[in-house]
A and B are shown apart, each in its own frame.
Chain A
Amino acid sequence: MITIDAKDMHYKELNKIIRENIASGIKNFFLENVNGQYYIGDGIKGDDITITVNGVPGNDLGVFMDGPSIIVNNNVQDNVGNTMNAGKITIKGDAGDVVGYGMRGGRIYIRGNAGYRIGIHMKGYNTQIPVIIIGGKVGSFFGEYMAGGVMVLLGLNNSEELAGEYFGVGMHGGTIYLKKKIDFSKYSKEVEFLEANDEDMIFLKKYLIEYANDFNLQAEDLINGPFYKIVPSSARPYAHLYTSSAL
């Protein structure tokens, strides 16, 4: 275990210390006084590594990360879990824009709200199923170009509108679950709106229990349905967009 005081430290120095300590076998990190440092957990590997962040980390938290866990006791900024491959990021506050861009595996749990373009181009592959759960509400372009994985929007904070405009635009894979019904008429024509079935609930349950435990919530409150489910109407949204040119 190691505690690092990040006060006034440049990200390059902070991340170098983390990388060097991982190389020497340290598994547990506590970062104190974090204030906007970029790239915490960038490209680190190892399922048994945990980084606890006190303060607000900067952009690209957990970018390219492959296995470790990061716990943030405050808000986070943009690009959390960018192109993340495996691992877990738990955020007790709100998240900024572009969470989980191109994420291929692992979990991101956000207790509060999140900004624009959450889960953009998120993808699943083989046994890897990336999962993002958001406790509050999100901005526009939720699940834009989503190609795989699962996102859950809980709306726990009693907000009227769960999501902004352009919901699921260009979505061609993966599943979005909603705990509250939304005015679906204003959203993308590329997705379908269904009620979650038993199979969905079995899948969701283990993630929701974990989420509830992470944030000291009552699991039953989260699991009790109904849940709504949004899936793409085609894996090939642009299949008929083109014709072969004469030249």
Chain B
Amino acid sequence: MTKSSFTNIQSEYLAVIDHAKCVRCKRCIQNCGWGTYSFGGDKIIADHSKCVACGRCYTYCPEGAISILKNPTVMRENGNWQDYHIKNIWRQSETGGIAISGMGTPLKYKKYFDHILLDACQVTNPPIDPLREPMELKTFLGKKPSKLELDFNEDDQPVLKNPMPPQIELATPFIFAPMSYGSISLNAQKAMALAARALGIVMNIGEGGLHDELVPFGKNIIVQVASGRFGVNRDYLNSGVAVEIKIGQGAKPGIGGHLPGEKIGADISRTRMIPAGTDAISPAPHHDIYSIEDLRQLIYAIKEAINYEKPVSVKVAAVHNIAAIVSGIVRAGADIVYIDGFTGGTGAAPIIIRDNVGIPIEIALAQVDQRLREEGIRNEASLVAAGSIRSSADAVKAIALGADAVAIGTAALVVMGCHICGKCHTGNCSWGITTQRPELTRRLDPEEYGEKLYNLINAWSHEMKDILGAMGVNSIESLRGSKERLRGIELTDSELKVLGIKHAGM
């Protein structure tokens, strides 16, 4: 076969070195996980085709001698045929492969959080100053009784007649989203574990099993059971504060996952409890779940195994009929439902799915909260919202739309240096996050980034208190599902209706 002309698709980026500034320290060569840089005898040479604009090289260049530029070589502009359409056609015609990528969709769909504004108090019902007055962010995830029945003990103190169902206690309504060992490095997981412990919140370890070094963090861990059942056994189920059944993921609703065999080294093999070198395949469905009744069966199989002592969560992707689906999940006995929106992240997903399947988390949440309230079962389960929560404002809006807590995945990776280059699936992450190459993972210090994660969640929690204070409420509980405190801008009547909010000015 003759060599195809498409193998030289123009480079996305140019790694430009200012040789006058460069002191030939070769740090860029060491830092780049992609092999962009090499030493050409007297100067650094850059292979632009390998650059993904992950930002590692210029962050660590002591002389500021590196600039990463968007390749100015143009393809003829066409509003319909975008660059990526054309380039993917070339790549796919070379390999015949399904185009995959990491991270949530980069396409510019309407982001509803950016079209929702929050309320504040003026004159009547005055705002509260969170610096001086107590402001409660504590959140409990789990089934709540539909009413509280009280007895009085000998000292005439009120006590609950029936025991409270098991709960996860969060000091602030954030959790670290499920990301498995395999999709990310152990050091990245450890950074989240350290931060979760310091913050009094939890991390979710995803479907890749529980590494020995994370076992001591059990009080801050949710363990996951996915269709591949990697690393799942009786002790695993009992090792965290809750068990989550993963049905779907916002970035790839309806499909499974493949961790390629070349990423299954000895340590991941031990954690997932599968042989090294074989593909770790998570089938699209759980083959014991073909109905709501079957889901109930697995939920209660887990509850029996953990003696009903911990809540069971079910994670689904936000899709068209999400309200009816979540209603079914709640009726199946889930104590927590985790809804992952359309823009949610991933370590690898076919872009055809990632960029085209699902619905935004804002709409899903509003519809689910509404439906569960109408059916009188909102108390039966807590809702966790995810799918690119980018700031505390997104988190507050999600909670006002009906979430009990939010999960952050991509934002946590950004703390660790991620520049959202979207190449997680290649295993070359220069920041040591989505790679298992020891020379790369070594550079991610769990203590250092654990502290930064702690700082971020602290900052967002303070901001959340400021917003609550401005709204004149002193507890996150008072904002939960309070759509009256939200207003839409630049939204159509249908959009406002589906979100259950009024237009600004009304």
A residues in contact (CB < 8 Å) with B: 11-12, 15, 19, 38-39, 42-45, 59-60, 63-66, 78-79, 82-83, 85, 98, 101-102, 104, 117, 120-121, 123-126, 128, 144-145, 147-148, 170, 172-173, 235-247
Contact B278 A244 (CB under 8 A): no
B307 located at the interface, meaning its Cβ lies under 8 Å from any Cβ of chain A in the complex: yes
Give the chain B neighbours of A124 by CB distance below 8 A. Answer: 275
Contact B261 A236 (CB under 8 A): yes
Assembled-state Cα–Cα distance A146/B193 (Å):
33
B264-285 interface code vs A (CB 8 A; 1 in, 0 out): 0000010001110111010100
**Chain B, Cβ-Cβ closest to A102:** B229
* Inter-chain contacts of A43 with B (CB < 8 A): 234, 237, 304-306
When the two chains form the complex, which single residue of A63, A125, A148, A236 contacts B305, counting CB atoms closer than 8 Å? A63
| Structural contact, A243 and B97, CB atoms closer than 8 A | yes
Assuming the A-B contacts A147-B274, A148-B274, are A245 and B99 also in contact, with contact meaning beta carbons closer than 8 angstroms in the complex? yes
Measured between alpha carbons, how far is A124 from B272 in the docked complex, in Å? 11
Are A246 and B281 also in contact (CB < 8 A) when A39-B304, A66-B234, A102-B232 are?
Answer: no
B265 CB, nearest partner CB in chain A, Å = 14
| Contact indicator B275/A148 (Cβ below 8 Å) | yes
Kindly list 15 other residue pairs between chains A and B, CB separation below 8 angstroms, not including A85-B233, A147-B275, A148-B278. A12-B304, A43-B306, A44-B234, A79-B297, A82-B288, A82-B301, A98-B287, A104-B273, A120-B287, A121-B228, A170-B283, A173-B275, A243-B91, A243-B94, A247-B351
Which of the residues B88, B91, B301, B425 comes within 8 Å of A63, measured between beta carbons? B301
A140–chain B nearest beta-carbon distance, Å: 12
Task: Please list the residues of chain B having a beta carbon within 8 angstroms of any beta carbon in chain A.
Answer: 9, 12, 83-84, 87-88, 91-92, 94-101, 106-107, 225, 227-229, 232-235, 237, 258, 260-261, 269, 273-275, 277-279, 281, 283, 287-288, 297, 300-302, 304-307, 350-351, 422-423, 425-426
Contact A237 B237 (CB under 8 A): no
Which residues of the other chain, B, contact A126 by a CB distance below 8 angstroms?
A: 273
Q: Chain B residues with Cβ under 8 A from A45's Cβ?
A: 234
**Can you list 20 pairs linking A and B with CB atoms under 8 Å apart?**
A39-B301, A43-B237, A60-B288, A64-B232, A64-B234, A66-B235, A101-B288, A124-B275, A145-B281, A148-B278, A173-B275, A238-B258, A240-B95, A242-B425, A243-B96, A244-B423, A245-B100, A245-B101, A247-B101, A247-B106
Contact present for A247 and B84 (CB under 8 Å): yes
CA distance A149 to B83 in the complex (A): 47
Tell me whether A241 and B98 are in contact (CB under 8 A). yes
CB pair A246 B229 closer than 8 Å: no
* Distance from B227 Cβ to chain A, minimum over Cβ atoms (Å): 8
Q: Which are the 3 A-B pairs with shortest beta-carbon distances? A: A43-B305, A243-B97, A102-B229
B279 A235 Cβ-Cβ under 8 A: yes
When the two chains form the complex, which single residue of B95, B279, B281, B307 contacts A243, counting CB atoms closer than 8 Å?
B95
What residue of chain B has the Cβ atom nearest to residue A238's Cβ?
B258
* Separation of A237 and B258 alpha carbons in the complex (Å): 10
With A66-B233, A238-B279, A247-B106 as contacts: A125 and B95 at CB distance below 8 Å = no
Among A78, A101, A247: residue with most chain B CB under 10 A = A247
For A85, give its contact among B95, B234, B307 (CB under 8 Å). B234
CB pair A246 B83 closer than 8 Å:
yes
What is the CA–CA distance of A125 and B232 in the complex, to the nearest angstrom? 12
Q: How far is the CB of B89 from chain A (nearest CB, A)?
A: 9
**Contact at B305–A172, with CB atoms within 8 Å?**
no
Q: Which residues of A contact B283 (CB under 8 A)?
A: 120-121, 145, 170
Min CB distance A10 to B, Å, is: 11
- Knowing A39-B301, A235-B279, A238-B258, say if A64 contacts B92 (CB, 8 Å): no
Closest-CB distance, A149 to chain B (whole angstroms): 11
Give the chain A neighbours of B287 by CB distance below 8 A: 98, 101, 117, 120-121, 144
Min Cβ gap B172→A in Å is: 33
Give chain B nearest CB distance to A49 CB in angstroms.
13
Residue from B83, B232, B278, B350 in contact with A173 in the complex, judged by beta carbons closer than 8 Å: B278
Q: Which residues of A contact B232 (CB under 8 A)?
A: 64, 83, 102
A125–B268 Cα gap in the complex (Å)? 12
Contacts of A11 in B (CB 8 A): 304
Q: Which of B87, B97, B297 has the most CB of A within 10 A?
A: B297
Q: Is the CB of B297 within 8 A of A59?
A: yes
Closest to B281 in A: A145
Task: Indicate if the CB atoms of A121 and B91 lie closer than 8 Å.
Answer: no
User: In the complex, which residue of chain A has the Cβ closest to the Cβ of B101?
Assistant: A245
Complexed CA–CA distance, A245 and B354 (Å): 12
Contact flag A42-B233 (CB < 8 Å), given A125-B273, A243-B99: no
Of chain A, the residue at the smallest CB distance from B91 is: A243
Q: How far is the CA of A189 from the CA of B229 in the complex (A)?
A: 25
- Cross-chain contact A246 with B278 (CB below 8 angstroms): no
Please give, as numbers and ranges, the residues of chain B lying within 8 Å of A148 by CB-CB distance.
Answer: 274-275, 278
B97 touches A242 (CB 8 A): yes
Decide: B304 and A42 in contact? CB cutoff 8 A.
yes
Question: Which residue of chain A has the shortest Cβ distance to B280 in the bound complex?
Answer: A147
